[in-house]
Structures are given as C-alpha cells and as structure tokens.
Amino acid sequence: MSETQGSALQWLPHVLTVAGSDSGAGAGIQADIKACAAAGVYCSSVITAVTAQNTVGVQGVYSIAEEFVTEQLRSVLSDMKVDVIKTGMLPSPGVITVLCQIIKEFQVGTVVVDPVMVSTSGDILSGPSTLTGFLEQLLPLADIVTPNLKEASALLGGISLETVGDMRSAAKSIHDLGARNVLVKGGDLRGSSDAIDIFFDGEQFHELSGPRIITRNTHGTGCTLASYIAAELAKGTPMLLAVQAAKSFVESALLFSKDLVIGSGPQGPFDHLYRMKKHQNDINGPNSRFSADSLLLYAVTDSRMNRKWSRSMAEAVKASIEGGATIVQLREKEAETGKFIDIAVKCVAICRSYGVPLLINDRVDVALACDADGVHVGQSDMPVLFARKILGAGKIIGVSCKTPAQAEKAWADGADYIGCGGVFPTTTKKNNPTIGLDGLKAVCLSSKLPVVAIGGIGAENAQSVMELSAPNLKGVAVVSALFDQESVVAETDRLKSLLMDMVMTDR
Ligand SMILES: Cc1ncc(COP(=O)(O)OP(=O)(O)O)c(N)n1
Ligand SMILES: Cc1nc(C(=O)O)sc1CCOP(=O)(O)O
Ligand SMILES: [Mg+2]
C-alpha cells in the first residue's frame, strides 16, 4: 500500500464474540472486548450466559435462553459486517445448534473457537451435554480451535496429556475432527519452565514457546488469546502470525500486570490496555519521560530492506510492534523531507495506537513536525544540548556513544539513553568501527544512563550481549535481524521471546 493513500470512509475490522459475561471482568465477554480494543479491532458481543464471578471463583451461572441468543446474533449480523466470530462459553447444546445455523446462514468468513468448558478456578461452565455439539457441529466450522490441556483431553474422550508429544498427537486428533487449525495450549504442562503451545495447521507442527510469567493475575488468558487471534485474523493477518502476535500480547500484558492487585482471591485479572498506560507513564509521567525498560527490543527501520521485501515503512513498523518491539526508530537516510514527514506521521499514529514510543533518527525537525516521542542522534548529528533546547523536556533523546567519555557527556548534556556499538560487525551501516563486547562493557560500567547495544545483533548472539549483566544494559537495537527478513513479525517475536527469557531468568 502506498504511504500517501487516504480514504474518506473508515473501515474497522470487526470481531463478534459469542460468550459469557464475567462480572469480575477478567475473562469472558469483558476480556474479549478489551483484547480486541487493544488490537485496534471493533468487538460486538452476544451474551450466552451471565456469571456471578470474582477472583475467588464462580458463584453462579444464569444461562440465556437459546431464543434470545438467536435474537442477539440476528441483531448484530443483519446490521453489521462481521469479519470473525469468536466463541467462548456456550452453556447448552441448543445454543451451539443455533449458533452453527446462523454462522452458515450469514456466511461468516472466519470462526475462532475457544472451547471453554471449565473456568480457571475449576468451575464447570459448559457441561458434558455440550460435547457432542462441539464435536459434531462447531469444530467442523472452526478455522482455529484453542483448547488448553483439560479441554483438549475432554474433546478427545478424556485421554491423558502429559508431554509435548501428547500435545502434538492431540492437536492432530482434534484436526481430524474438522477444525482447520489447532492450538493446544500447554500452560498447565507439568515440569516445563517455558509455556509451550503446539500449533498444527493440518500439515506442519509449530512448537511455540514463551516464558512462563510468574503471577497470580492469569484469569482470562485463554479468552484473551483467542480474541486477540480473532482480532488479528479480522485485520487480515495470516493464521500462524496471528497466533504468534496473540501469544506475544498475552506475555507482555502478564509481565506488565504481574504485581497488579485486584480482588483477594487466588486468580486476578490483568491489564489488557497496558500499552496505553505504559505509554502515558513513559512519556507523560511526572518524573520521567520514558521508561528504560522500553529499550528491551529496539527496532530500527531501514528503507533499503523495506524495498527489498516490498513493504512500506508503515507495514514494517506495525509488523515489528506486533512481533513485540518495545520501541521503534525511523532511520530514513534517503527520503526527501516532505516524504519523510508524511511517512513519520503515519508511523507515529501506528505506534501511539499500540503505546510504543517512536523516535526519529538524526532529524530533530522531522521529530518536531510529526510529534514523535523523540530523536536518536549520533556524535556528528545535532548535539544533544541543542536537540533538547528545540524539543523541550518532554521528549526522549538518545545518543550514540562508543567510549566512556562520550557516555559521560551524553549524561551531562541531558540525553535519556545511550546507543552503544557496533558491538559486532554489521553491513547495515558502512564504515562503522566495532567496539566488541569489551567496549560495550566499558561504556555500560561508566554510564549513568541506560544503554541499548547495537550492531550485528540477532537471535544467535543476543544472549552473549545480555550476559554482560550490567544493570544499565537494558536491551538490543536491531535492524537487519528484524527487517531484512521475510517475516518481520515472526523474527521480532523470536528475538523478543529470547530476550524475555533472559530478563526473567535474571530476576
Ligand atoms: C539505538 C541506536 N544506536 C545507535 C545508532 C546510530 O546512530 P548514528 O551514530 O547517528 O548513526 P546513524 O544511525 O545516523 O547512521 C542508532 N541509529 N540507534
Ligand atoms: C544504525 C547503526 N548504528 C550502529 C552503531 O554502532 O552505532 S550499528 C548500526 C546498524 C545496525 O544494524 P544491524 O542490526 O543490521 O547490524
Ligand atoms: Mg545519525
């Protein structure tokens, strides 16, 4: 898509969730709406049951009559263009039957089935009488089904699932029941330090692993994951990438919310809109213009690579964020000023919608024009003192440093962070001297500012960088390992998972 195209009418991807209400708002319809909102997707809702529920458990369930579920479905589908239906709690066989009839009648394009049967607190939400409906009617309509271990076992007649091998066999068997894609979630698998999920598309298995975040606030993760997948599919994201983006979203939301206290029971909700809060804290907080934690995975764009892979800057930026980039820099060395501002305005809007800060490389004027969150300057670009004078106190300023003396000056002049490299040789930036891990360590030890490492860094060597274990080394800045790749989302997601593992084991 061209960077300058615009249209008068706005289209918003649309997910319809057909699920139960959770009065505590951690799971169910409430989680689905928040997950879609976080993904930038409209979410309408058909309520199948109302539960009295909190962080302790489920105190009561009131099922909505089939006729009224039908009425709600018809109200939405006869009026609105729904891209994806996502199902959650379906309390009776009759509700499953009417839902399947209506999916066929309205020819809904994509169906995501979260086979909710038992709540995370162990309460039954959909009894054994619904099993036949799932197996015979709903699964054959499903583009993806997302059972956890207990649900996969229930769908397969109660078999035991104890290993990753068992999960693979279960994914295949559920695929044989008619679902086109299957994600068996291994969060409850005993004896594994990572959360391993198995994705099967009918031909290939993918083992998707992510760090297990230690927190009580996991209520609603299943609903959220399925809804985020539905939201990504509604935007046109291919299935595997949608699953990866959803996993990455849930991981980040759990990490951000791990110390949140809502309710006194054993399972709390988490904050779906953490990106907005994070952005506000980072940029508008009373004492700090940015959180150094956002340097964890710093995506630096490259227009030559975008051309090579036929993607616009906006597409590249969006993909890196969906893969889990925590801060983005537009590094544009070729475009004329007007064109650069045009691109930057679009990218600022994208980054802001995700709560991810966007900085401009070199060009303080462009940063000001597009209201970016800040700039990154080098030793031969505009000096930090002047950049600060122009941009004011509220913007982020990063500066490249190769030596402790430069790091000291960066701090004295009012920079917010240091970009330190080239750690390893790179072909992305010509004639760039390499300082190695020793040079990086020397800068980190002397710097009073947070540091992000740059130069030749990717999934294969990120650990050797982070292992320096300097408390102010906050992450890696990466160009080619994210953008000179066929799938920016997948590569960003891969590197992000590795970095999160490193950060988690450090704690
Ligand atoms: C995070 C980060 N660190 C270092 C650089 C390099 O900046 P600079 O030295 O100004 O070189 P150019 O990027 O302008 O070629 C960076 N861009 N980002
Ligand atoms: C933009 C830039 N600055 C560097 C520095 O050393 O300051 S190295 C670099 C390029 C990094 O690209 P890649 O991740 O593809 O190696
Ligand atoms: Mg520069």
Is residue 471 domain-resident?
yes
Are residue 155 and residue 188 in the same domain, yes or no? yes
Active-site residue (options: 34, 86, 185, 395): 185
| For residue 278, pLDDT beyond 80 | no
Q: To the nearest whole percent, how much of the chain has pLDDT over 70?
A: 93
Q: What is the pLDDT of residue 448?
A: 87
Are residue 234 and residue 281 in the same domain, yes or no? no
Q: Within 6 Å (CB) of ligand 2, which residues are found? A: 300, 400, 419, 421-422, 426, 428-429, 432, 454-457, 478-481
**Structure-block tokens of residue 210:** 């992510």
Q: 450 CB under 6 A from ligand 1?
A: no
Active-site residue (options: 218, 237, 326, 492): 218
CA of 361 to the centre of ligand 3 (A): 6
Are residue 426 and residue 494 in the same domain, yes or no? yes
Is residue 200 domain-resident?
yes
What is the count of structural domains for the chain? Answer: 2
* Per-residue pLDDT tens digits for 51-64: 999 999 999 999 99
Are residue 233 and residue 356 in the same domain, yes or no? no
Is residue 268 domain-resident?
no
Would you call 222 a catalytic residue per the annotation?
Answer: yes
Is residue 1 domain-resident?
no
Are residue 401 and residue 495 in the same domain, yes or no? yes
Is residue 267 domain-resident?
no
Last residue of a domain, one of 258, 283, 313: 258
| For residue 280, pLDDT beyond 60 | no
- The one-letter amino acid code at 367 reads A
Return the ligand 1 atom nearest residue 477 CA.
1
Q: What is the pLDDT of residue 289?
A: 60
CA of 293 to the centre of ligand 3 (A): 23
Q: To the nearest whole percent, how much of the chain has pLDDT over 90?
A: 75
Q: 378 CB under 6 A from ligand 1?
A: yes
Residue with tokens 């109200």: 75
CA of 433 to the centre of ligand 3 (A): 14
Would you call 221 a catalytic residue per the annotation?
Answer: yes
Are residue 252 and residue 284 in the same domain, yes or no? no
CA of 38 to the centre of ligand 3 (A): 33
Is residue 287 domain-resident?
yes
Region of residue 71 (phi > 0: left; psi between -120 and 50: alpha; otherwise: beta): alpha
Is residue 455 domain-resident?
yes
* Per-residue pLDDT tens digits for 139-187: 999 999 999 999 999 999 999 999 999 999 999 999 999 999 999 999 8
Residue 213's domain spans which residues? 14-258
Average pLDDT, the chain: 91
Q: 331 CB under 6 A from ligand 1?
A: yes
Are residue 313 and residue 440 in the same domain, yes or no? yes
Are residue 250 and residue 293 in the same domain, yes or no? no
**Structure-block tokens of residue 136:** 């015979």
pTM over 0.80: no
Q: What is the pLDDT of residue 241?
A: 85
Q: 402 CB under 6 A from ligand 1?
A: no
Is residue 110 domain-resident?
yes
Are residue 35 and residue 163 in the same domain, yes or no? yes
DSSP character at residue 78: H
Are residue 241 and residue 369 in the same domain, yes or no? no
Q: What is the pLDDT of residue 35?
A: 97
Last residue of a domain, one of 258, 283, 304: 258
426: domain CATH number?
A: 3.20.20.70
Q: What is the pLDDT of residue 95?
A: 97
Would you call 223 a catalytic residue per the annotation?
Answer: yes
Coil, helix or strand at residue 82: coil
Q: What DSSP letter does each residue of 143-188 carry, written as one string? A: SEE--BHHHHHHHTTS----SHHHHHHHHHHHHHTT-SSEEEE-TT
Specify the long-range contacts of residues 155-159, CB closer than 8 Å, at least 24 apart: 155/115, 155/131
Q: 398 CB under 6 A from ligand 1?
A: yes
Would you call 88 a catalytic residue per the annotation?
Answer: no
Instruction: Among 296, 381, 384, 429, name the best residue to mutate to test ligand 1's pocket (greatest count of ligand atoms within 8 A of Cβ).
Output: 429
* Per-residue pLDDT tens digits for 387-442: 988 998 889 999 999 999 899 888 878 899 999 999 999 999 999 999 999 999 99
Q: What DSSP letter does each residue of 408-466 carry, written as one string? A: HHHHHHT-SEEEE--SS--SSSTT----HHHHHHHHHHH-SS-EEEESS--TTTHHHHH
Residue of the CA atom closest to atom 12 of ligand 1: 378
Last residue of a domain, one of 258, 291, 324: 258
Are residue 240 and residue 314 in the same domain, yes or no? no
65: domain CATH number?
A: 3.40.1190.20
Are residue 112 and residue 216 in the same domain, yes or no? yes
* Per-residue pLDDT tens digits for 73-90: 999 999 999 999 999 999
